[in-house]
A and B are shown apart, each in its own frame.
Chain A
Amino acid sequence: MNQATPMIEVTNLDKFYGAFHALKNIDLTVHQGEKVVICGPSGSGKSTLIRCFNGLEWHNSGRLVIDGIEVYDGAKEIRELRQEVGMVFQQFNLFPHLTVLENLTIGPMKVRGISKAQAEETARNYLERVHIPEQADKYPAQLSGGQQQRVAIARSLCMETRIMLFDEPTSALDPEMINEVLDVMVELADTGMTMVVVTHEMGFARKVADTMVFMEAGQIVEVSPPEQFFTNPSSERCRLFLDQILAH
């Protein structure tokens, strides 16, 4: 894995919200095809970190290079970058006034300038991949939460993304729908996609993660392969956190 090309390179990154120091001296490298799972207590900066990766938030100092493009506020290439970096949100954020198919085709058509016919073909392809080809003409509100989240994943994939970011993709779902979304994510991982996933689903993490990251109070406290992370974490805080979430 380590001889592969770096896709995300974070060096000495700091981020402030006003006077609040949200990310402190972050260093992290994600290689092509690598799956990174980030966990940590609420407010530790997990969302803030991955939102920096597609320019939804801007860092204040340090360096962030994604797929060879230097990311900073005002960077000209930021829109091209966002087309390469897909993001799946906790609250799905589907476009409620568009059908499922339109949700999937609007990006390729308007942003990439692909023809409608071709965009629809790609969209149906990806709907097949997330196992809901029959829902193409429904509106998001007519779908279950699990189905909506799978549409959201397909929407990102339709942009032919090279990196996928997930911000707690299953934590707004009813328990019986969590697995249908995780299964799709596991299948996606098997295709070799580079993935950064913020989640507390440790079963999923054990199955797909190449690297585990534990964050606390705006800092990365632990980076290790899952075998070591789950059995013998080097930091005491990480051990306590794992005990807590694995207890139930």
Chain B
Amino acid sequence: MSDLGISRPKGQPLPKPPFLKRFFDSTLISVGIYVVIVGLIAYGAYIGAQGMGYNWQWYRVPQFLYRNTEVGFEWGEIPIGLVATIKLSVTAFILAMVIGLLVALLRLSDLVIGSAIAVGFLELIRNIPLLVLLYLFYYVLGPIFGFDRYTASILTLAVFHSALISEIFRAGINAVPTGQWEAAKSIGMSPSQTYRYIILPQSVRFMLPPMTGEVVHLIKSSAIVSVIAVAELTTFGRNIISDTYMSFEIWFTIALVYLVVTLILSIGVSHLEKKYAVDQ
């Protein structure tokens, strides 16, 4: 299929790809197909809801986004919940990075005990469902160590995601050629100086894409803390629904908010990635 390696006389136009491929590759057609598919799904949901006699009340949704009261403008529950979700996720992610880096360094260290501890930790975390981990932190460790539901949530998310993050660190660190280690050693750098000034700055490039995936993953899994009623987007959604019974409208809205946040994140990082690629 590819014309790589096949010499073509210079200046001659490329042979035209088959009609079907050209048809599906054009931007207009792709967007069109996308819109049609999304439309069909939305229509299906609408018909289904109609069939069960659902009473759509979209006009009541905006008040949960913002309100203009006599005291003035005021944010609704959904943006407030979103901010809480972002705070929770950012805190958990930072903690997860710290734990993940420590576990990765332990695993890469020459200490047999160090890497054994790291592997044990990874296997343990990987094989416990997130919900069970949350219950462990909230109902078991919480009372023992005296932390509240918010701390329990942050610890759960951080510990759960630190496992994958440590693997991302490990892969990123291993992607730096050994010659860099040898050059750093040969000018007398200690292992910690080598990590700090030589290895980690170079692994950022390799770690950025999977790390973004992990942030997106964490933001989504943060919704699970609504089961212990921590104030965040999903919990607020549940509260609104129990007051208004508008499950369809509110869940659609909440899903859209998560989607928009994670999309913005991915686009932002792909710009960052390009910048890093140019710098090197």
Interface residues of A (CB under 8 A from B): 54-56, 79-80, 82-83, 85-87, 89, 91, 93-97, 106-107, 110-112, 139, 141, 152, 155-156, 159
Main secondary structure of the interface of B (DSSP, over half): helix
CB-nearest residue of chain A relative to B193? A110
Asked if B182 is at the interface of the complex by the 8 Å CB criterion, the answer is: yes
Interface bin, chain B: 10 to 19
Ranked nearest first, the 7 interchain pairs of A and B with the lowest CB-CB distance are A107-B187, A93-B183, A83-B188, A93-B179, A87-B186, A82-B188, A111-B188
A56–B184 Cα distance when bound, in Å, is 11
Give the chain A neighbours of B179 by CB distance below 8 A. 89, 91, 93
Asked if B90 is at the interface of the complex by the 8 Å CB criterion, the answer is: no
Give the chain A neighbours of B198 by CB distance below 8 A. 95
Cβ contact within 8 Å between A110 and B197: yes
The interface bits of chain B over 154-189 (1 if a CB of A lies within 8 angstroms of the residue's CB, else 0) are 000000000000000000000001011011111111
Give the chain A neighbours of B280 by CB distance below 8 A. 96-97, 139, 141
Q: Are A56 and B183 also in contact (CB < 8 A) when A95-B198, A97-B280, A110-B197 are?
A: no
Asked if B202 is at the interface of the complex by the 8 Å CB criterion, the answer is: yes
Asked if B210 is at the interface of the complex by the 8 Å CB criterion, the answer is: no
Give the chain A neighbours of B186 by CB distance below 8 A. 54, 56, 82, 85-87, 156
Asked if B27 is at the interface of the complex by the 8 Å CB criterion, the answer is: no
Give the chain B neighbours of A141 by CB distance below 8 A. 280
Cβ contact within 8 Å between B182 and A93: yes
Give the chain B neighbours of A87 by CB distance below 8 A. 182-183, 186
Q: Are A111 and B193 also in contact (CB < 8 A) when A96-B202, A97-B280, A141-B280 are?
A: yes
CB-nearest residue of chain A relative to B179? A93
Cβ contact within 8 Å between B182 and A56: yes
Asked if B201 is at the interface of the complex by the 8 Å CB criterion, the answer is: yes
Give the chain A neighbours of B188 by CB distance below 8 A. 79-80, 82-83, 107, 111-112, 159
Give the chain B neighbours of A111 by CB distance below 8 A. 187-189, 193
Asked if B242 is at the interface of the complex by the 8 Å CB criterion, the answer is: no
Distance (whole angstroms) from the CB of B188 to the closest CB of chain A: 4
Distance (whole angstroms) from the CB of A196 to the closest CB of chain B: 13
Partner of A95, one of B180, B185, B190, B279: B180
A106–B186 Cα distance when bound, in Å, is 13
16 more A-B contacts (CB under 8 A) besides A79-B188, A141-B280?
A54-B185, A80-B188, A82-B186, A83-B187, A83-B188, A85-B186, A93-B177, A95-B202, A96-B202, A96-B280, A97-B280, A106-B187, A106-B197, A107-B188, A110-B197, A111-B188
Q: Can you give 10 contacting A-B residue pairs, CB < 8 Å?
A: A79-B190, A82-B188, A83-B187, A86-B186, A89-B182, A95-B202, A96-B280, A106-B187, A106-B197, A107-B188
Cβ contact within 8 Å between A107 and B182: no
CB-nearest residue of chain B relative to A110? B193
Give the chain B neighbours of A83 by CB distance below 8 A. 187-188
Give the chain A neighbours of B182 by CB distance below 8 A. 56, 87, 89, 93
CB-nearest residue of chain A relative to B196? A110
CB-nearest residue of chain B relative to A109? B197
Partner of B180, one of A79, A85, A93, A107: A93
CB-nearest residue of chain B relative to A83? B188
Partner of B187, one of A80, A82, A91, A139: A82
A54–B189 Cα distance when bound, in Å, is 13
